[in-house]
Structure 1
Amino acid sequence: MPEIMTTWDAELGYSHTYMRPGAEAAAGGPDGAAEPLWGVYLVNAADEVGVHVFPHSTFEWRAAEHSLDPDDVDTLLDVILHEVAMPSRDDALVHDDPGALAVLRETYNLPGVFTPGVADETRRQACLARIAAVKRHRLLIAPAPQPERQGALEFVGSARVAPADPLTPIKELTRIDPVRVAGKRAFLDWVRATAEEPARPSFFVKPPATFVGMKPNEV
């Protein structure tokens, strides 16, 4: 069974920026501009509160990486929230997590972001299949009941009315520039076309996040 997490609220913030004119030049920063950051408030089964924070450009990258529709904010947001539970096949301890192992087994032959020669629809379906497997076996994110969210707002003295969907601020305010998505897709196409062949696994070549094993001494 997947872990259940509920969404309670979402808000807009911004990444690091310089608050004084000229400060960015003194500090060597490029232009001092801030990028919008979205924060989603989540609560797990143990009533532990966390915030999933991601930059607005994540929408552009996921649309470009997985051939997703830039106007389909609901699907993009669903991918962004659930992809954190996608296990790595390079994790040496994945066999200790039945849910993670089930996800990897179901998605083993699916193409990845950098797999060359994949049709757009195939790449899109592969992404959706991974997220569906995550929801079945590892993580399912759902909205907390509206009455409970409204009660929480009233408890802290807020005059806000809890929307039916706590992710409404993101879904209603997010606009994705198709030109920026097209630029990222062009970059990814270039990487796929020019990347070297993957290294053949050997005794001395280890993927990340695995035990070091025996390696030749550096001279």
Structure 2
Amino acid sequence: MSSEYKVIAVTDYPNSSEPKWAVDMEKPDGNLHRHVLPKATLEWRAAEYGIDDVEELMDIVLHEPFQIPATEEELSWDAAAQEADTKLHRLPSLIEAESTTEAAESLRVRIARTKAEKVHVVSTPKKGQPDPLDKIRNEHGIDPERKREKRELVDTMRWMTRHGGLPITTTPSGKEGVRL
């Protein structure tokens, strides 16, 4: 059974070298939990996982601090693997995944499990009051060009992790060459 954390406020986080939000949540015992995140986090997750829905991105970043580590059983959603009676493996990370789609599905499974088993973050404003998460909805600042640049960085890192370097190198004469 998971604990419900209620978002009660979202504010700009002061005294920081980069713009950040502070998301204050009330825990079931009445104590406060504060999640501080850089304002670029939603843009990064959009680039990393190919997700454009701001609501889904907020759901991801609000649950990431509570994420439950992946286990072999989590791939039980993979009917093809079950049908082939293959050994299930743990969900791949962003860098380990074969594709952005696979990485996003892995993340979705981990977040769903976190919400079901550990912490479920909700925002239920009182009648007549604005939703505290509207601050993030209205100020997320996801820019398509910056997102594309971040996507290229992620793709390059994934490639280098898998293959040990880039496929194109610079030759001693300064011209591009293909790595053999």
Q: Does structure 2 conserve the Cα–Cα contact (< 8 Å) formed by 1:8 and 1:41?
A: yes
Q: Does structure 2 conserve the Cα–Cα contact (< 8 Å) formed by 1:87 and 1:104?
A: no
| CA-atom RMSD in angstroms | 2.4
- The within-5 A match list for 1:66-77 is 66-69=49-52, 72-77=53-58
Instruction: Name the CA distance, whole Å, in 2 between partners of 1:48 and 1:41.
Output: 10
Q: Return the index of the structure with the highest Cα Rg.
A: 1
Partner of 1:80: 61
- The within-5 A match list for 1:3-42 is 3-14=3-14, 16=16, 34-42=17-25
Q: Does structure 1 conserve the Cα–Cα contact (< 8 Å) formed by 2:97 and 2:103?
A: no
Structure 2, unpaired ranges of 5+: 76-88, 164-180
One-letter code aligned to 1:83: E
Normalised by the length of structure 2, the TM-score is: 0.73
Where 1:46 maps in the other structure, the secondary structure is coil
Structure 1, unpaired ranges of 5+: 17-33, 90-102, 148-160, 198-219
Instruction: Name the CA distance, whole Å, in 2 between partners of 1:168 and 1:44.
Output: 20
One-letter code aligned to 2:122: A
Q: 2:98 aligns with which of 117, 122, 125?
A: 117
Task: Identify the structure with the greater strand proportion.
Answer: 2
In the TM superposition, residue 177 of structure 1 has moved relative to its aligned partner by 1.1
In the TM superposition, residue 138 of structure 1 has moved relative to its aligned partner by 1.0
Q: Does 1:183 align with 2:130?
A: no
Q: Does structure 2 conserve the Cα–Cα contact (< 8 Å) formed by 1:11 and 1:39?
A: yes
Partner of 2:27: 44
Where 2:21 maps in the other structure, the secondary structure is strand
Normalised by the length of structure 1, the TM-score is: 0.61
Instruction: Name the CA distance, whole Å, in 1 between partners of 2:38 and 2:148.
Output: 18
Partner of 2:47: 64
Instruction: Name the CA distance, whole Å, in 1 between partners of 2:27 and 2:51.
Output: 28
Q: Does structure 2 conserve the Cα–Cα contact (< 8 Å) formed by 1:15 and 1:37?
A: no
> Number of aligned pairs?
151
Partner of 2:111: 131
CA pair 123-196 structure 1, distance change in 2 beyond 3 A:
closer
Instruction: Name the CA distance, whole Å, in 1 between partners of 2:48 and 2:15.
Output: 23
User: Residues 120-160 of structure 1: CA distance to partner in whole angstroms, max 9, x if unpaired?
Assistant: 3333222222211111111101124515xxxxxxxxxxxxx
One-letter code aligned to 1:192: R
Q: Does 1:105 align with 2:88?
A: no
